[in-house]
Structure 1
Amino acid sequence: MSSPVRFSPRWWLRLVAELLLFLVFLLALEWFMTRHAARGPAPALAAMQTDGRGVDVRSLQGRPALVYFWATWCPVCTAQQSAIDGVLADTPAITVAMRSGGAAEIHGYLAKDGLNWPVIDDADGAISMRWGVSGVPAAFILDADGRIRFVTRGYTTGLGLRARLWLAGLGV
Protein backbone atom coordinates (compact mmCIF):
# COMPACT_ATOMS: atom_id res chain seq x y z
CA MET A 1 0.00 0.00 0.00
CA SER A 2 1.40 3.36 -0.92
CA SER A 3 1.44 6.30 1.43
CA PRO A 4 -0.51 9.45 0.49
CA VAL A 5 1.39 12.18 -1.28
CA ARG A 6 2.12 15.15 0.96
CA PHE A 7 2.98 18.53 -0.37
CA SER A 8 5.29 20.71 1.64
CA PRO A 9 4.42 24.31 2.56
CA ARG A 10 7.22 25.40 0.25
CA TRP A 11 5.55 23.57 -2.66
CA TRP A 12 2.23 25.32 -1.95
CA LEU A 13 3.95 28.70 -1.68
CA ARG A 14 5.62 28.19 -5.04
CA LEU A 15 2.31 27.14 -6.62
CA VAL A 16 0.55 30.26 -5.32
CA ALA A 17 3.43 32.49 -6.48
CA GLU A 18 3.37 30.97 -9.97
CA LEU A 19 -0.41 31.34 -10.22
CA LEU A 20 -0.18 34.99 -9.13
CA LEU A 21 2.57 35.63 -11.66
CA PHE A 22 0.44 34.05 -14.39
CA LEU A 23 -2.54 36.20 -13.37
CA VAL A 24 -0.42 39.36 -13.47
CA PHE A 25 0.80 38.34 -16.94
CA LEU A 26 -2.79 37.85 -18.17
CA LEU A 27 -3.90 41.20 -16.76
CA ALA A 28 -0.92 42.97 -18.32
CA LEU A 29 -1.66 41.32 -21.67
CA GLU A 30 -5.33 42.38 -21.48
CA TRP A 31 -4.28 45.94 -20.65
CA PHE A 32 -1.79 45.99 -23.53
CA MET A 33 -4.33 44.71 -26.06
CA THR A 34 -6.96 47.27 -25.01
CA ARG A 35 -4.72 50.25 -24.23
CA HIS A 36 -6.09 52.33 -27.14
CA ALA A 37 -9.73 51.39 -26.53
CA ALA A 38 -12.25 54.05 -25.59
CA ARG A 39 -12.81 54.59 -21.87
CA GLY A 40 -15.32 56.63 -19.88
CA PRO A 41 -18.52 57.72 -21.63
CA ALA A 42 -19.25 55.58 -24.69
CA PRO A 43 -18.29 57.35 -27.93
CA ALA A 44 -21.08 58.43 -30.24
CA LEU A 45 -22.51 55.57 -32.24
CA ALA A 46 -25.62 56.26 -34.27
CA ALA A 47 -25.93 54.33 -37.52
CA MET A 48 -28.15 52.26 -39.74
CA GLN A 49 -28.06 48.52 -39.20
CA THR A 50 -27.87 46.19 -42.17
CA ASP A 51 -31.61 45.52 -41.84
CA GLY A 52 -32.37 49.23 -42.39
CA ARG A 53 -33.21 50.10 -38.80
CA GLY A 54 -31.41 52.90 -37.03
CA VAL A 55 -29.63 52.35 -33.75
CA ASP A 56 -27.99 54.69 -31.26
CA VAL A 57 -25.74 53.71 -28.36
CA ARG A 58 -27.71 56.11 -26.15
CA SER A 59 -30.74 53.83 -26.56
CA LEU A 60 -28.88 51.19 -24.53
CA GLN A 61 -28.90 53.29 -21.36
CA GLY A 62 -30.96 52.10 -18.42
CA ARG A 63 -29.25 48.76 -17.85
CA PRO A 64 -25.86 47.21 -18.59
CA ALA A 65 -25.25 46.66 -22.29
CA LEU A 66 -22.79 45.20 -24.78
CA VAL A 67 -21.17 46.78 -27.83
CA TYR A 68 -19.47 43.96 -29.75
CA PHE A 69 -17.01 44.42 -32.63
CA TRP A 70 -16.40 41.39 -34.84
CA ALA A 71 -15.59 40.42 -38.44
CA THR A 72 -16.59 37.74 -40.92
CA TRP A 73 -12.92 36.97 -41.61
CA CYS A 74 -12.02 36.51 -37.91
CA PRO A 75 -11.67 32.86 -36.77
CA VAL A 76 -11.79 33.82 -33.08
CA CYS A 77 -15.08 35.66 -33.71
CA THR A 78 -16.45 32.48 -35.29
CA ALA A 79 -15.36 30.44 -32.26
CA GLN A 80 -17.07 32.93 -29.95
CA GLN A 81 -20.40 33.11 -31.85
CA SER A 82 -22.42 30.87 -29.55
CA ALA A 83 -21.32 32.77 -26.44
CA ILE A 84 -22.23 36.10 -28.04
CA ASP A 85 -25.54 34.75 -29.33
CA GLY A 86 -26.46 33.61 -25.82
CA VAL A 87 -25.66 37.02 -24.35
CA LEU A 88 -27.54 38.85 -27.13
CA ALA A 89 -30.68 36.87 -26.29
CA ASP A 90 -31.23 38.83 -23.07
CA THR A 91 -28.89 41.83 -23.13
CA PRO A 92 -29.27 45.21 -24.87
CA ALA A 93 -26.53 45.24 -27.48
CA ILE A 94 -25.11 46.65 -30.68
CA THR A 95 -22.89 44.52 -32.87
CA VAL A 96 -20.50 46.07 -35.37
CA ALA A 97 -19.02 44.06 -38.26
CA MET A 98 -15.63 45.58 -38.98
CA ARG A 99 -14.50 45.58 -42.62
CA SER A 100 -16.58 42.51 -43.44
CA GLY A 101 -18.01 43.30 -46.87
CA GLY A 102 -21.53 44.52 -47.47
CA ALA A 103 -24.85 43.71 -45.85
CA ALA A 104 -25.41 40.67 -48.08
CA GLU A 105 -22.07 39.11 -47.12
CA ILE A 106 -22.64 39.80 -43.42
CA HIS A 107 -26.17 38.34 -43.47
CA GLY A 108 -24.94 35.31 -45.42
CA TYR A 109 -22.20 34.74 -42.88
CA LEU A 110 -24.64 34.91 -39.96
CA ALA A 111 -27.33 32.88 -41.74
CA LYS A 112 -25.02 29.91 -42.39
CA ASP A 113 -24.81 29.46 -38.61
CA GLY A 114 -28.47 30.26 -37.95
CA LEU A 115 -27.73 33.65 -36.35
CA ASN A 116 -29.90 36.73 -36.70
CA TRP A 117 -27.98 39.54 -35.04
CA PRO A 118 -28.72 43.22 -35.50
CA VAL A 119 -25.48 44.52 -36.97
CA ILE A 120 -23.88 47.72 -38.19
CA ASP A 121 -21.60 47.40 -41.23
CA ASP A 122 -18.40 49.29 -40.43
CA ALA A 123 -17.09 48.96 -43.98
CA ASP A 124 -14.36 51.58 -43.71
CA GLY A 125 -13.45 50.99 -40.06
CA ALA A 126 -14.44 54.52 -38.98
CA ILE A 127 -16.62 53.36 -36.09
CA SER A 128 -13.95 50.93 -34.92
CA MET A 129 -11.33 53.68 -34.99
CA ARG A 130 -13.58 56.03 -32.99
CA TRP A 131 -13.95 53.33 -30.33
CA GLY A 132 -10.21 52.53 -30.39
CA VAL A 133 -10.68 48.99 -31.68
CA SER A 134 -7.43 47.71 -33.18
CA GLY A 135 -8.43 44.05 -33.43
CA VAL A 136 -11.44 41.79 -33.18
CA PRO A 137 -13.27 40.44 -31.39
CA ALA A 138 -13.63 43.34 -28.99
CA ALA A 139 -16.39 43.75 -26.42
CA PHE A 140 -17.30 46.92 -24.55
CA ILE A 141 -19.45 46.50 -21.45
CA LEU A 142 -21.45 49.64 -20.66
CA ASP A 143 -23.12 50.45 -17.36
CA ALA A 144 -26.68 51.77 -17.12
CA ASP A 145 -25.42 55.35 -17.59
CA GLY A 146 -23.64 54.54 -20.87
CA ARG A 147 -20.11 54.56 -19.43
CA ILE A 148 -17.61 51.94 -20.53
CA ARG A 149 -16.83 49.72 -17.54
CA PHE A 150 -14.97 46.83 -19.17
CA VAL A 151 -13.18 46.22 -22.47
CA THR A 152 -12.05 42.84 -23.72
CA ARG A 153 -10.22 41.85 -26.84
CA GLY A 154 -9.86 38.32 -28.04
CA TYR A 155 -11.86 35.29 -27.02
CA THR A 156 -14.17 35.83 -24.06
CA THR A 157 -16.57 33.23 -22.73
CA GLY A 158 -20.28 33.85 -22.30
CA LEU A 159 -19.76 33.47 -18.56
CA GLY A 160 -16.99 36.09 -18.66
CA LEU A 161 -19.23 38.54 -20.52
CA ARG A 162 -22.16 37.91 -18.17
CA ALA A 163 -19.93 38.40 -15.12
CA ARG A 164 -18.73 41.75 -16.50
CA LEU A 165 -22.32 42.78 -17.30
CA TRP A 166 -23.35 41.87 -13.75
CA LEU A 167 -20.45 43.86 -12.27
CA ALA A 168 -21.33 46.83 -14.50
CA GLY A 169 -24.86 46.64 -13.08
CA LEU A 170 -23.39 46.91 -9.59
CA GLY A 171 -21.41 49.99 -10.58
CA VAL A 172 -18.03 48.28 -10.26
Structure 2
Amino acid sequence: MFKDKKKPSKLKEYIALFIFVFVIIQAIDMARTSDIPIEKTPVTAGISLNRQHINAIEQSKDKAVLVYFWATWCVACKFVTPIVNWLSDDYSVVGISFNSGDDHRVQRYMKAKGYHFSTINDANNQISRNWGVQVAPTLIVLKGGEVKSTTSGLTTPMGILGRMWLANIK
Protein backbone atom coordinates (compact mmCIF):
# COMPACT_ATOMS: atom_id res chain seq x y z
CA MET A 1 0.00 0.00 0.00
CA PHE A 2 2.78 2.42 0.92
CA LYS A 3 5.59 2.62 -1.53
CA ASP A 4 9.08 2.84 -0.13
CA LYS A 5 11.00 5.65 -1.60
CA LYS A 6 14.35 4.32 -2.61
CA LYS A 7 17.34 5.84 -0.98
CA PRO A 8 20.09 7.00 -3.31
CA SER A 9 22.67 4.32 -3.80
CA LYS A 10 26.02 4.59 -2.08
CA LEU A 11 27.70 4.92 -5.48
CA LYS A 12 25.64 8.02 -6.29
CA GLU A 13 26.52 9.49 -2.90
CA TYR A 14 30.23 8.86 -3.49
CA ILE A 15 30.06 10.37 -6.96
CA ALA A 16 28.29 13.46 -5.62
CA LEU A 17 30.86 13.79 -2.83
CA PHE A 18 33.73 13.41 -5.32
CA ILE A 19 32.27 16.11 -7.58
CA PHE A 20 31.70 18.44 -4.62
CA VAL A 21 35.28 17.99 -3.33
CA PHE A 22 36.68 18.39 -6.86
CA VAL A 23 34.82 21.69 -7.36
CA ILE A 24 35.99 23.01 -3.97
CA ILE A 25 39.62 22.05 -4.69
CA GLN A 26 39.47 23.71 -8.12
CA ALA A 27 38.02 26.91 -6.60
CA ILE A 28 40.78 27.03 -3.98
CA ASP A 29 43.41 26.38 -6.65
CA MET A 30 42.03 29.18 -8.84
CA ALA A 31 42.15 31.59 -5.90
CA ARG A 32 45.76 30.67 -5.07
CA THR A 33 46.94 31.12 -8.66
CA SER A 34 44.81 34.15 -9.59
CA ASP A 35 47.81 36.52 -9.62
CA ILE A 36 49.70 34.49 -12.23
CA PRO A 37 49.73 36.39 -15.53
CA ILE A 38 48.20 34.42 -18.38
CA GLU A 39 48.16 36.97 -21.21
CA LYS A 40 51.80 38.09 -21.05
CA THR A 41 54.24 35.43 -19.91
CA PRO A 42 57.01 36.91 -17.74
CA VAL A 43 60.63 36.20 -18.58
CA THR A 44 61.64 32.87 -17.12
CA ALA A 45 65.33 32.71 -17.86
CA GLY A 46 68.53 32.58 -15.91
CA ILE A 47 71.60 30.58 -15.03
CA SER A 48 70.91 27.19 -13.48
CA LEU A 49 72.73 25.80 -10.48
CA ASN A 50 74.76 23.79 -13.03
CA ARG A 51 75.82 27.05 -14.74
CA GLN A 52 73.69 26.42 -17.84
CA HIS A 53 71.60 29.17 -19.43
CA ILE A 54 67.90 28.26 -19.17
CA ASN A 55 65.03 29.96 -20.96
CA ALA A 56 61.71 28.22 -20.26
CA ILE A 57 59.82 30.27 -22.84
CA GLU A 58 62.26 29.28 -25.60
CA GLN A 59 62.15 25.64 -24.47
CA SER A 60 58.35 25.69 -24.72
CA LYS A 61 58.26 26.58 -28.43
CA ASP A 62 57.83 22.96 -29.57
CA LYS A 63 56.83 21.07 -26.44
CA ALA A 64 55.31 21.70 -23.04
CA VAL A 65 57.61 22.81 -20.23
CA LEU A 66 56.81 22.50 -16.55
CA VAL A 67 57.95 25.56 -14.59
CA TYR A 68 58.11 24.47 -10.96
CA PHE A 69 58.31 27.13 -8.23
CA TRP A 70 59.46 25.48 -5.03
CA ALA A 71 61.40 26.08 -1.81
CA THR A 72 63.68 23.98 0.37
CA TRP A 73 61.61 24.81 3.48
CA CYS A 74 58.23 24.02 1.88
CA VAL A 75 56.39 21.09 3.48
CA ALA A 76 54.15 20.38 0.46
CA CYS A 77 57.24 20.51 -1.79
CA LYS A 78 58.62 17.48 0.07
CA PHE A 79 55.80 15.49 -1.57
CA VAL A 80 55.63 17.24 -4.96
CA THR A 81 59.36 17.66 -5.72
CA PRO A 82 60.09 13.91 -6.00
CA ILE A 83 57.25 13.70 -8.55
CA VAL A 84 58.68 16.64 -10.52
CA ASN A 85 62.14 15.06 -10.37
CA TRP A 86 60.73 11.79 -11.75
CA LEU A 87 58.90 13.64 -14.54
CA SER A 88 62.09 15.48 -15.50
CA ASP A 89 63.40 12.22 -16.98
CA ASP A 90 60.80 12.46 -19.78
CA TYR A 91 59.61 16.09 -19.81
CA SER A 92 61.24 19.51 -19.80
CA VAL A 93 61.26 20.91 -16.28
CA VAL A 94 62.59 24.27 -15.13
CA GLY A 95 62.73 24.57 -11.37
CA ILE A 96 62.65 27.99 -9.73
CA SER A 97 63.80 27.80 -6.13
CA PHE A 98 62.73 30.87 -4.16
CA ASN A 99 63.28 31.98 -0.56
CA SER A 100 65.74 29.10 -0.17
CA GLY A 101 69.11 30.74 0.43
CA ASP A 102 72.20 30.95 -1.75
CA ASP A 103 73.13 28.69 -4.67
CA HIS A 104 75.38 26.48 -2.55
CA ARG A 105 72.61 25.79 -0.04
CA VAL A 106 70.10 24.86 -2.76
CA GLN A 107 72.71 22.67 -4.52
CA ARG A 108 73.45 20.81 -1.27
CA TYR A 109 69.73 20.28 -0.67
CA MET A 110 69.15 18.94 -4.18
CA LYS A 111 72.17 16.65 -3.99
CA ALA A 112 71.10 15.28 -0.60
CA LYS A 113 67.62 14.51 -1.99
CA GLY A 114 68.92 13.13 -5.31
CA TYR A 115 67.12 15.76 -7.40
CA HIS A 116 68.52 16.37 -10.88
CA PHE A 117 66.07 18.69 -12.66
CA SER A 118 67.40 22.05 -13.91
CA THR A 119 66.90 24.74 -11.30
CA ILE A 120 67.39 28.49 -11.22
CA ASN A 121 67.91 29.83 -7.71
CA ASP A 122 65.69 32.89 -7.50
CA ALA A 123 67.66 34.26 -4.54
CA ASN A 124 66.21 37.77 -4.81
CA ASN A 125 62.70 36.45 -5.67
CA GLN A 126 62.56 38.53 -8.86
CA ILE A 127 61.27 35.71 -11.09
CA SER A 128 58.64 34.63 -8.56
CA ARG A 129 57.50 38.24 -8.08
CA ASN A 130 57.24 38.74 -11.86
CA TRP A 131 55.03 35.65 -12.02
CA GLY A 132 52.95 36.67 -8.99
CA VAL A 133 53.87 33.42 -7.26
CA GLN A 134 53.29 33.57 -3.52
CA VAL A 135 52.66 29.91 -2.71
CA ALA A 136 55.06 27.00 -2.89
CA PRO A 137 54.79 24.73 -4.71
CA THR A 138 53.33 26.36 -7.80
CA LEU A 139 53.38 24.52 -11.12
CA ILE A 140 52.93 26.30 -14.45
CA VAL A 141 52.79 24.52 -17.79
CA LEU A 142 54.03 26.55 -20.78
CA LYS A 143 53.62 25.68 -24.44
CA GLY A 144 54.52 28.01 -27.28
CA GLY A 145 55.52 30.64 -24.73
CA GLU A 146 51.97 30.73 -23.30
CA VAL A 147 50.58 29.59 -19.97
CA LYS A 148 48.47 26.49 -20.55
CA SER A 149 47.88 25.41 -16.95
CA THR A 150 48.59 26.47 -13.38
CA THR A 151 48.20 24.78 -10.04
CA SER A 152 49.62 25.14 -6.58
CA GLY A 153 49.89 23.06 -3.47
CA LEU A 154 49.78 19.29 -3.38
CA THR A 155 49.24 17.47 -6.66
CA THR A 156 49.61 13.95 -7.98
CA PRO A 157 51.79 12.47 -10.73
CA MET A 158 48.63 11.93 -12.80
CA GLY A 159 47.61 15.55 -12.26
CA ILE A 160 50.92 16.85 -13.59
CA LEU A 161 51.09 14.30 -16.42
CA GLY A 162 47.55 15.21 -17.46
CA ARG A 163 48.41 18.91 -17.59
CA MET A 164 51.54 18.22 -19.66
CA TRP A 165 49.66 15.91 -22.02
CA LEU A 166 46.83 18.41 -22.54
CA ALA A 167 49.31 21.22 -23.22
CA ASN A 168 51.10 19.11 -25.84
CA ILE A 169 47.90 18.31 -27.76
CA LYS A 170 46.56 21.88 -27.83
- TM-score normalized by structure 2? 0.88
In the other structure, the counterpart of 1:4 is: none
Please show how residues 2-21 of structure 1 align to structure 2 within 5 Å.
Answer: 8-9=7-8, 14-21=13-20
Are residues 1:122 and 2:122 paired? yes
5+ residue gaps, structure 2: 1-5
1:8, CA displacement in angstroms? 2.8
Are residues 1:160 and 2:154 paired? no
**Cα gap change, 1:89 to 1:13, in 2 (>3 Å):** closer
In the other structure, the counterpart of 1:170 is: 169
5+ residue gaps, structure 1: 1-6
Is contact 2:58-2:145 (8 Å) kept?
A: no
In the other structure, the counterpart of 2:34 is: 35
Paired with 1:12 and 1:37, the residues of 2 have a C-alpha distance of 37
Paired with 2:11 and 2:111, the residues of 1 have a C-alpha distance of 50
- TM-score normalized by structure 1? 0.87
**Cα gap change, 1:136 to 1:10, in 2 (>3 Å):** same
Is contact 2:139-2:152 (8 Å) kept?
A: yes
**Cα gap change, 1:11 to 1:54, in 2 (>3 Å):** closer
Please show how residues 1-172 of structure 1 align to structure 2 within 5 Å.
Answer: 8-9=7-8, 14-60=13-59, 61-143=61-143, 145-171=144-170
Paired with 2:123 and 2:114, the residues of 1 have a C-alpha distance of 23
Q: CA RMSD in A?
A: 1.8
Task: Please give the secondary structure, in 2, of the residue aligned with 1:27.
Answer: helix
